[in-house]
Amino acid sequence: MSSLWAILNGGESSRYGSPKYLAARNGESFLDVAVKRTIEASNAGDKIVVSGGPPLSAAWDVVVDSPHFTGPLAGLLALVQLAMEAKNEVLTIQPIDMPLVHSEHLRFLHDQALHSEGVVVAESQNSKDRHWVLAAVHCSQYLDVAERIESGSFRSVKSVWASCACDFLTLPDEYLVNINYPDQPV
C-alpha cells in the first residue's frame, strides 16, 4: 500500500507577517525545503500533498482545508479524509514552519505509525515538548480521527491526538524548532 505525505501550509501566518511557505532558509523557501525532505522520505508510488494555502503550480496536489473547521483541524480533517478515500496505509504530516526537520525524522514517524498501527507524535528529547502537528497516523485510526474532529468537541490538533492512544517519537530538540517570527533564528 502507498502512503500519503502531507505538508500543512494553511494559516494566515499573522505572527510571521507573510506567508511562511515563501520564507527562506539558506536560499530555499520553507515549502521547497519541506517538499525536498518529503521526497527523500517517501517511497515510489507514495503521494505528496500540500494542505491549505494558495494553489501552487507544481508536481504535487493542493488539498483544500475542510470548510467546516478552521486552523490546523480543517487541514487535518481534509488530509485524513483524503487518506481514507485513497486507502493510504499511513498519513505523515509536517507543518511548513519546521524547516530543520530531516527526511529521516519523517521516515521514523511514518515507520513507527506503520508498525504500531496507531498515531505517532514527535516529542523533543530534552524538553519533552510535544510537537502535535508533526505526526503520522496509521490507516486503522483514520475513521476514529475524522469522527473526533467532526464531533466538534476538539479545538486543536493537540486535543484530538491527546484523546487518542498516541505513541511518541523522541527527536533531538534542535530539529524541532517551529518558526513563528521572521527574525527568529533558524
Query: What's the pLDDT band for 185 if we cut at 50, 70, 90?
Result: confident
- For residue 155, give every residue at least 6 positions away whose Cβ sits within 8 Å of its Cβ, in sequence order, or none: 73
Query: What's the pLDDT band for 100 if we cut at 50, 70, 90?
Result: very high
pTM for the whole thing? 0.93
Query: What's the pLDDT band for 141 if we cut at 50, 70, 90?
Result: very high
- For residue 32, give every residue at least 6 positions away whose Cβ sits within 8 Å of its Cβ, in sequence order, or none: none
Q: Which DSSP helix (H) or strand (E) runs through 119?
A: strand 119-124
| 64, 21 contact by CB (below 8 A) | no
Q: What is the pLDDT of residue 178?
A: 85
Q: Long-range CB contacts (< 8 A, 24+ apart) of 58-62?
A: 60/35
- For residue 169, give every residue at least 6 positions away whose Cβ sits within 8 Å of its Cβ, in sequence order, or none: 108, 109, 112, 120, 121, 122, 123
Does residue 109 surpass a pLDDT of 80? yes
Q: Averaged over 75-87, what is the pLDDT? A: 95
Query: What's the pLDDT band for 9 if we cut at 50, 70, 90?
Result: confident
Across all residues in the chain, what is the average pLDDT?
89
